[in-house]
Amino acid sequence: MAVSALCLVQSKPAETYIRGTAARRDYNILAYSKGTKKVKILRYMLIFVPITFAGEFLHWTPTLMFVLTALAIIPLAALMGEATEEISFYSGPKIGGFLNATFGNATELIISFFALKAGLFEVVKASIAGSVIGNILLVLGLSMIFGGIKYKSQHFNQKVIDNSASMLLFAVIGLTIPAIFTHTLDPALLSTRYEGLSVIVAVIMIIIYILSLVFSFYTHRDIYSIDHSQESSPKWSIKKAITVLVGATVLIGLESEFLVSAVEPMSEAIGLSEFFVGIILIPIIGNAAEHSTAIVMAMKNKMDVAVEIAIGSSLQIILFVTPVLIFLSLLFTPMSIVFNEFEIVALVFSVLIANRVATDGESNWMEGVQLLAVYLIIAVAFFVL
């Protein structure tokens, strides 16, 4: 089965750099309005960062802190993506690709790490499932709707997307095996065996992830070649880019700790289950900047990129973020990757839809409506659980 590591590393604004020697500046939502007088909303949202620190110091209510930290994380995640893109200009395509692969879903990884540290295992697993479901149904659906409103029909590279969709099916199968294992084994033996199975699955997934990078950067990189006529040059110095990347990462870590500490009391205060927070709210918070990028690309008739962002981010969540979280959990309390039945059904349906979308190489707004409808139905079902 062919593997598209391109899509794995295309899950943040710097993704298109991997297919050439420079990034196309319009793939970054923070730079989308460069050269115009449009308000850079995400830049102004950085004001929420000091506000959250004030709120933490003054002990504001958990619900208010959850909302404020969510608003602070969104622009920081976008800033991290922009810094990674700038570093890629200086590092070359292969190192740049590795950086994008590493930092592609860093926000989700950081948030999940603090949830893991706090013992919120169900929230962590729900956020993994929610990120995949949200990318495939919500992001892809909205991209097709907004792109389809402007263009009657949009086309994308069927070969690349089909490879990635097939890989996504494999990845989800890997996630479901431990859950099936729990239903076939004596419950008395589960505590000593399924955690070991989860580690083995995590090792296999991280190996596949590494091999996919080799596939994309070395053995089959010609598949992902693009026209370089729209290449541009870096805006920042390498020193500034590294400083911004480190600073944004540290701030996301602090904001994530604020966010996670507010999950339980906020859920109790407004009557939301932690499961719903993990599977719907946290993925939206961690992926908001990326979601915006996919929609913008679809509206610019670059459906290739929109689809790759959605599927590629899902792949990276499963093949990179999930194994890393399993390994990190060994430092605290080992976490298994056993999902409940409804999560498994939602994941499988989402992947089947992704494979269906990839079959004809084109999309329209009605397909987007269908994807969004499925996401809303799943979200409502998770809400009542």
What is the DSSP code string of 102-150? Answer: HHTTHHHHHHHHHHHHTT-HHHHHHHHHHHHHIIIIIIHHHHHHHHHHH
Identify the pLDDT of residue 224: 59
pLDDT confidence band for 234 (50 / 70 / 90): confident
Percent of the chain predicted with pLDDT > 90: 34
Identify the pLDDT of residue 10: 43
Q: Which residues pair with 154 in a beta bridge?
A: 363
Name the residue type at position 3.
V
Of 26-35, 315-324, 358-367, highest mean pLDDT? 315-324
Longest Cα–Cα distance in the chain = 64
Assigned token pair, 168: 């996504």
pLDDT confidence band for 186 (50 / 70 / 90): low
Q: Quick check: 56 pLDDT over 50?
A: yes
Name the residue type at position 186.
D
Q: Quick check: 41 pLDDT over 80?
A: no
Identify the pLDDT of residue 24: 38
Assigned token pair, 299: 């509206």
Higher pLDDT pick, 32 / 130: 130
pLDDT confidence band for 35 (50 / 70 / 90): very low
Identify the pLDDT of residue 6: 46
Q: Quick check: 8 pLDDT over 60?
A: no
Per the prediction, the chain carries an average pLDDT of 80
Helix (H/G/I), strand (E/B), else coil: 363: strand
Higher pLDDT pick, 167 / 6: 167
Q: Quick check: 336 pLDDT over 70?
A: yes
Identify the pLDDT of residue 184: 65
Identify the pLDDT of residue 166: 82
pLDDT confidence band for 274 (50 / 70 / 90): confident
**Rounded mean pLDDT of 296-303?**
88
The Cα–Cα gap between 205 and 296 comes to 31
Q: Measured at the alpha carbon of residue 269, what is the angle toward residues 263 and 275, in degrees to the nearest 5? A: 45
Identify the pLDDT of residue 94: 63
The Cα–Cα gap between 285 and 50 comes to 18
**Rounded mean pLDDT of 193-221?**
82
Mind listing the pLDDT tens digit for each residue in 90-147? 876 667 666 776 677 888 899 999 999 988 998 999 999 999 999 999 999 999 999 9
Q: Virtual CA dihedral for 347, 350, 354, 357, nearest 10 degrees?
A: 170
Q: Quick check: 187 pLDDT over 60?
A: no
Q: Quick check: 33 pLDDT over 60?
A: no
Higher pLDDT pick, 359 / 263: 263
**Rounded mean pLDDT of 311-329?**
91
Distance of CA 283 to the CA centre of its chain: 7
